[in-house]
Structure 1
Amino acid sequence: MKRLFALTAAAALCAPAATFASESVQAEIDNADQWVLQTGDYKNQRYSQLDQINKENVGDLQVSWTFSTGVLRGHEGSPLVVGDTMYVHTPFPNIVYALDLADEGRIIWKYEPKQDPSVIPVMCCDTVNRGVAYADGKIFLHQADTKVVALDAQSGEVLWEAQNGDPSIGETNTATVLPVNDKIIVGISGGEFGVRGSVTAYDMNSGEQVWRAYSMGPDSDTLIDPENTTHLGKPVGPDSGTNTWEGDQWKIGGGTTWGWYSYDAEENLVYYGTGNPSTWNPAQRPGDNRWSMTIMARDADTGMAKWLYQMTPHDEWDYDGINEMILTEQEVDGEMRKLLTHFDRNGLAYTMDRVSGELLVAEKYDPAVNWTTGVDMDPASETYGRPAVVAEYSTEHNGEDVNSTGICPAALGTKDQQPAAYSPQTELMYVPTNHVCMDYEPFRVSYTAGQPYVGATLSMYPAPDSHGGMGNFIAWDNTSGEIKWSIPEQFSVWSGALATAGGVVFYGTLEGYLKAVDAETGDELYKFKTPSGIIGNVMTYSHGGKQYVGILSGVGGWAGIGLAAGLTNPNDGLGAVGGYAALSDYTALGGQLTVFALPD
């Protein structure tokens, strides 16, 4: 395999230089008939210019065609459409299909990797995968076993492979990758196994590693310049990735990077978030645990950090910070700013200047959030940018474990990885949320490579004193920090949203409904129940002059892990099995793509 890799890499290096992928991919994105990136575009806006389907006629949608993936676990992510070809992925074993849209969805090729099934028990919260990426005539897949594969988009032939991590120590992957310039950017999963998070850039044509930036560790590992990397406008200083950790705990410190990535070509910056510190028991890791729970802005070519912002110092509740960063250009106080908006697991929505890292807004996007009273927004304060923790909901006191009840949100957050959408028409963001609280019991745990390193027992339930459901779909004003409207749902909304120029917003529900609502008012315009619960992300494309909407259904993920893995103990699935026990009354396992269109 090493010899094959070397030969493949050498051949790629001898090939003529291609246009930077960011430019070629952007040209493909600009063709609204296609869906080229999992996030819709580099800005993670998940907005389509297509308007053939609009608020006046969306109620007439019908199922146009379907495709079975042949896999019965949680289906996150979405298909891609490039030209006449649709690319569909599955959870483990991470099959990739290329379908011919010009020939009734005929399977052009199928890639099925041969992975060791021993990786399955090391995957935290189901065997999900958030999809493939496309650039420069290649399809890129990051497999569960952390192998990164480049496939010829026309033939499915393997062009190169690179091993990004080691499943034997708990490193796995659930995320997509992002093609930027002549590189692809990839992350790593495994925070529940004491993995030290990292982001890695590979050469798109050879598979050679270009740079790797760890979430914590020495400055040489984190690619932080102590004097020129800032946190809330101030240099972070030397050893920032180790000096808020006790001893060598940072070496098994978590901060994994299994979420979404966005890119600003003008600034040449990649944006992403890091996950929870390890272990979940906060008493075992005194200090702020930098740079877990952090928004990061890095140079795409070198990996060097420009600015950082830690949202939840010394996390006590598993509030991973990996959710998407949505990039917009909007007016703030009469001035046009380049903004970054992030809906964190901790229940706070942040709006920042994405060039400088200035914090502009930090507000709760679910009124049930109670672990904090809010973020200190006074730049002159010693606690500027920090959330004020409510002692009643802390899970430690003076270094001792504390069993806490009624914490809102639960560990799966007010929103997990399911991505929001933004409409430049309304200047609103459409956010799938979890309306869930928890009881949290930390306990002491020792580290063994490849074994769970959690240190807490959880139980989850709907937020009290509200509509009784476990989810809401909301419209959010990211410059004022206000909910404009909210749709209550029986279960968490675990599907990625889609906004369109037709004034329609789409999302899916855990029971299996695809729903369409009015972007201005939130009024329901259409719903259809697919064969299984939806945790996939809605996408749209046009072919032959006709607009289509596609969604993967297949219940699973953290919320649906009980169904997906056949678990019944309420505390299994890191507390989700009991919280979502009623889900089995409404849906069953499945793996299907459903495509909708207006009648001819």
Structure 2
Amino acid sequence: MRAKLLGLAAGLLTTVAAPAFANDSVTEGIKNSGQLVTQLLNYAGTRYSELGDITKDNVGDLQVAWTFSTGVLRGHEGAPLVIGDVMYVHTPFPNNVYALDLKNDGKILWRYHPQQNSDVIGVMCCDTVNRGLAYGDGMIFLSQADTTLVALDEKTGEVKWSVVNGDPAKGETSTATPLIVKDKVLIGISGGEYGVRGHMTAYNIADGKMAWRAYSTGPDAEMLVDPEKTMVLGKPIGADSSLNSWEGDQWQIGGGTTWGWTTYDPELNLIYYGTGNPSTWNPSQRPGDNKWSMTIMARDVDTGMAKWFYQKTPHDEWDYDGVNENILVDKEIDGTMRKLLVNFDRNGFAYTMDRESGELLVAEKYDPAVNWATEVDMNKDSETYGRPLVVAEYSTAQNGEDVNSTGICPAALGTKDQQPAAYSPKTGLFYVPTNHVCMDYEPFRVSYAAGQPYVGATLSMFPAPDSHGGMGNFIAWDAVKGEIKWSLPEQFSVWSGALATSGDVVFYGTLEGYLKAVDSETGKELYKFKTPSGIIGNIFTYKSGDKQYVGVLSGVGGWAGIGLAAGLTNATEGLGAVGGYAALSDYTALGGQLTVFALPN
């Protein structure tokens, strides 16, 4: 026994003393604004670049510098990485990876073509997308559709290690990008429409061994929750908080998947991510708050232990997945500098929180069309503090009856889906791609079977009424005041990730395929160019030599473009999106291309 204890103590000392190479490599890469080592540009998730050679005065002169065909159709989300003089490009399923030499006309240095069972396509909800690669310690990390997490040598593409994070036979898939923090690779899981039980998992960067796994639902021990120390709006979470909010053992197939973005505060040593919808979509089949689906989670990155939770949509009745990015900024509120977290949720509310304590500071609608709730109760003395006040007319559980609830805003794809927003410290504003879409929602009873759809609702989608007639807006948001500063209407949802730069330019893409540049202060359009296919990727910028470039992956798809991507024509297919976006086929077609822009010499 003494030998075992001494061995354990030695192991702990080694863990503490070991250098956190990944933290150093990613941190140094982030400091070099000419490179791209993480999808959100930095740990805070601001998607802000210090590069400023392209300004609001010269952005109108942008020209196409070069292009690259990915050879894959369907939806292209995420963006390439740039490490030194090499660009790393990923694709949707089958998740090919290309290393391109930026000093030699984009010559392909190596390629990785994973061998995956194509059956996984049948259990991927809302297209076969992948949100991009991650970098750390000389390795490129890819989370494949079949949940295999792969570490590739950045120089050769050799597989250093791989590990399986889930089981597609149960509906578990992967679409998210990993995040590299310290000596760990963090990755979530997809499959909420198949009754998957969500989790966040940390693997050791050195060898791929699991360090910890935190489930979104279930017993405290499996959720890595301390009933006395994990806080919810300033109060201890209490024992069995999740179990007590589900009927029987429904939590085992309860959803709460983690397919969105993860951010990190090095000073607090906390990661932040969101959990998705509860399963099934029929709320009458799962009474209770269904904790902790639809939740922002703050966890210690070393242990996975939960610091605080906040459930944005208890007992979700509309599929308002809570997985969108949590942007970390420091701003003054009421004369006090606060460490803030800003979240633009699918449910149509924008939340500003204290990221250290989980205190809720602001919760306001960021699309005036939102009608399913009147407001979030901000009265700390109220029994409903922090909860949305639901409008009975737009509830989809009408006295337990399965009826068609009409005119609900936003639609299930939310006021904003996963496409990340950007923040400029120069203006203090957030730049948010949004959907301006409503829906009719009719639930029906459904039984669970592993690996089979577990949805239980029929939807139809349409533009928000009494508005500009389009299905999207690109907005600038003040997160302290909780108000829109300006808004640009778009014909279709804005499904690309935004980019803010020190050149006072903000970039975004449209579903028709336009790359657009606007003035960060006023929103005035400064430039646009139509790429070969609709844009659902994230705009990025980098420097090669002494020149700044801006680029984007175009390739229509994702939930909004699923009709085009999968060849669907029935209006209710694609969980209602096919009918809502039927006109998109008049403006764009499938493709997979990287387009890179630069100012003329």
Q: Structure 1 CA distance, aligned partners of 2:249 and 2:148? A: 28
Deviation (angstroms), 1:22: 1.9
Per-residue deviation, 1:399: 2.8
**Shift of the alpha carbon at 1:23?**
2.6
Aligned residue in 2 for 1:286: 287
- Indicate the residue corresponding to 2:70 in structure 1: 69
Aligned to 1:323: 324
Distance 1:583 1:75 in 2: 16
**Matched position secondary structure for 2:221:** helix
Correspondences of 1:504-543 after superposition (within 5 Å): 504-543=505-544
Counterparts of 2:33 and 2:219 in 1: how far apart (Å)?
Answer: 44
User: How far 1:17 sits from its partner (Å)?
Assistant: 5.5
2:198 aligned partner: 197
Distance in structure 2 (CA, Å) of the matches to 1:496 and 1:402: 36
Does structure 2 retain, via aligned residues, the 8 Å contact 1:549–1:597?
yes
Q: What is aligned with 2:364?
A: 363
Residue 467 of structure 2 aligns to a residue in which SS?
coil
1:57-116: CA deviations, max 9, x gaps?
A: 000000000000000110000001011010000000000000011111110000000000
The equivalent of 1:156 in structure 2 is 157
- Return the alpha-carbon distance in structure 1 between the equivalents of residues 130 and 398 of structure 2: 38
1:213 maps to what in 2?
214
Q: Identify the residue that residue 41 of structure 2 maps to in structure 1.
A: 40
Deviation at 1:440, TM superposition (A): 0.2
Q: Per-residue deviation at 1:180?
A: 0.6
Segments of 5+ residues of structure 2 without an aligned counterpart are 1-13
Paired amino acid for 2:150: V
SS, match of residue 309 in structure 2: strand
Q: How does 1:14-25 map to 2 (within 5 A)?
A: 18-25=19-26
Paired-residue identity, %? 76
Q: Does 1:589 align with 2:587?
A: no
Per the alignment, residue 454 of structure 2 pairs with: 453
Kept after mapping to 2: 8 A contact 1:22/1:265? no
* Cα shift readout 1:465-493 (whole Å, capped 9, x = no counterpart): 00000000000001110000000000000
1:127 corresponding residue in structure 2 = 128
The residue type equivalent to 1:412 in the other structure is L
Q: Is contact 1:394-1:402 (8 Å) kept?
A: no
Aligned to 1:379: 380
Aligned with 2:244: secondary structure? Answer: coil
Aligned-partner Cα distance in 1 for 2:232–2:391: 24
Matched with 2:560 is 559
Distance across 1 between alignment mates of 2:378 and 2:167 = 41
TM-score where L is the length of structure 1 = 0.97
Residue by residue over 1:117-139, the C-alpha shift from the partner in whole angstroms, topping out at 9 and shown as x without a partner, is: 00001000000000010001000
Partner of 1:569: 570
Match in the other structure for 1:99: 100
CA distance in 1, matches of 2:356, 2:399: 38
Which position in structure 2 is the counterpart of 1:3? Answer: none
Cα distance in structure 2, aligned partners of 1:466 and 1:516: 24
One-letter identity of the residue aligned with 1:28? G
Contact preservation (8 Å) 1:447, 1:453: yes
Deviation of 1:305 (Å): 0.3
Identify the residue that residue 476 of structure 2 maps to in structure 1.
475
Q: CA–CA distance in 2 between the matches of 1:168 and 1:328?
A: 40
Q: Is the Cα contact below 8 Å between 1:196 and 1:214 reproduced in 2?
A: yes
Q: Give the Cα–Cα distance (whole angstroms) in 2 for the partners of residues 368 and 398 of structure 1.
A: 25
Instruction: Kindly provide the amino acid, as one letter, of the partner of residue 583 in structure 2.
Output: A
Asked whether the equivalents of residues 172 and 188 of structure 1 are also in contact (C-alpha less than 8 Å), the reply is: yes
| Alpha-carbon offset, residue 320 of structure 1 | 0.2
User: Is contact 1:53–1:502 with CA below 8 Å preserved after alignment?
Assistant: yes
Whether 1:181 and 2:182 are equivalent positions in the alignment is yes
Partner amino acid, structure 2, of 1:550: G
CA–CA distance in structure 2, aligned partners of residues 399 and 239 of structure 1: 26
Amino acid at match of 2:25: S
* In 1, Cα distance between equivalents of 2:23 and 2:130: 23
Following the alignment from structure 1 to structure 2, what is the Cα–Cα distance between the partners of residues 480 and 98? 44
Displacement of 1:401: 2.4
Name the residue aligned to 1:491: 492
Match of 2:333 in 1: 332
Give the RMSD, CA atoms, in angstroms: 1.1
Deviation at 1:27, TM superposition (A): 1.1
Task: Give 2:427's aligned amino acid.
Answer: T
Structure 1 distance, partners of 2:149, 2:217, is 23
C-alpha distance in 2 between matches for 1:570 and 1:557 = 16
Distance 1:17 1:593 in 2: 39
Q: Distance between the aligned counterparts of 1:20 and 1:332, measured in 2? A: 36
TM-fit CA distance, 1:21: 1.4
Partners of 2:18 and 2:246 in 1: CA distance? 44
- Superposed CA deviations along residues 441-500 of structure 1, whole A, max 9, x for unmatched, are 000000000000000000000000000000000000011100000000000000000000
Secondary structure (helix, strand or coil) at the match of 2:414 reads coil
Aligned to 1:59: 60
**In structure 2, how many angstroms separate the alpha carbons of the residues matched to 1:233 and 1:215?**
20
The CA distance in 2 between the partners of 1:188 and 1:32, in whole Å, is 30
| Residue aligning to 1:253 | 254
> 3-state SS of the aligned residue for 1:396?
coil
Q: 3-state SS of the aligned residue for 2:507? A: strand
CA–CA distance in 1 between the matches of 2:18 and 2:115? 32
Q: Partner residue of 1:4?
A: none
Distance 1:19 1:495 in 2: 33
The amino acid of 2:356's aligned partner reads: V
**1:161 partner letter:** S
Which residue pairs with 2:272 in the alignment? 271
How far off is 1:35 after superposition? 1.1
Structure 1 position 306 matched with structure 2 position 315: no
C-alpha distance in 1 between matches for 2:357 and 2:594? 41
Q: How far, CA to CA, are the matches of 1:486 and 1:399 in structure 2?
A: 39
Secondary structure in 1 aligned to 2:120? helix
Q: Which amino acid aligns with 2:596?
A: V
Task: Give the whole-Å Cα distance in 2 for the aligned partners of 1:189 and 1:38.
Answer: 18
Q: Runs of 4+ in structure 1 displaced over 3 angstroms?
A: 16-20
Number of residue equivalences: 587
CA–CA distance in structure 2, aligned partners of residues 329 and 106 of structure 1: 42
Q: Match for 2:86: what amino acid? A: T
Query: Residues 19, 229 of structure 1: CA spacing in aligned structure 2 closer, same or farther, 3 A cutoff?
Result: closer
- Displacement of 1:241 in angstroms is 1.5
- Aligned to 1:341, the other structure's residue is in SS state strand
Match of 2:144 in 1: 143
Report SS of the residue matched to 1:59. helix
Question: How many Å separate the matches in 1 of 2:18 and 2:356?
Answer: 30
Q: Deviations over 1:394-431 (max 9, x none)?
A: 01133332320000000000000000000000000000
2:85 matches 1:84: yes
Residue equivalent to 2:406:
405
Give the SS at the match of 2:173: coil
- The 2-side partners of 1:401 and 1:300 are apart by 42
Structure 2 equivalent of residue 27 of structure 1: 28
Q: Is the 8 A contact 1:263 1:271 kept in 2?
A: yes
Deviations 1:521-542 (A, max 9, x none): 0000000000000000000001
CA displacement, residues 228-270 of structure 1 (integer Å, 9 cap, x when unaligned): 0010000010001110000010000000000000000010000
Equivalent residues of 1:286, 1:399 under 8 A apart:
no
Aligned-partner Cα distance in 2 for 1:139–1:522: 36
Is contact 1:140-1:148 (8 Å) kept? yes
Cross-structure match for 1:237: 238
Q: Find the residue that maps to 1:400 and give its secondary structure.
A: coil
Q: Which amino acid aligns with 2:147?
A: T
Q: Secondary structure at the match of 1:98?
A: strand
- Show CA shifts across 1:302-330 (max 9, x none): 00000000000000000000000000011
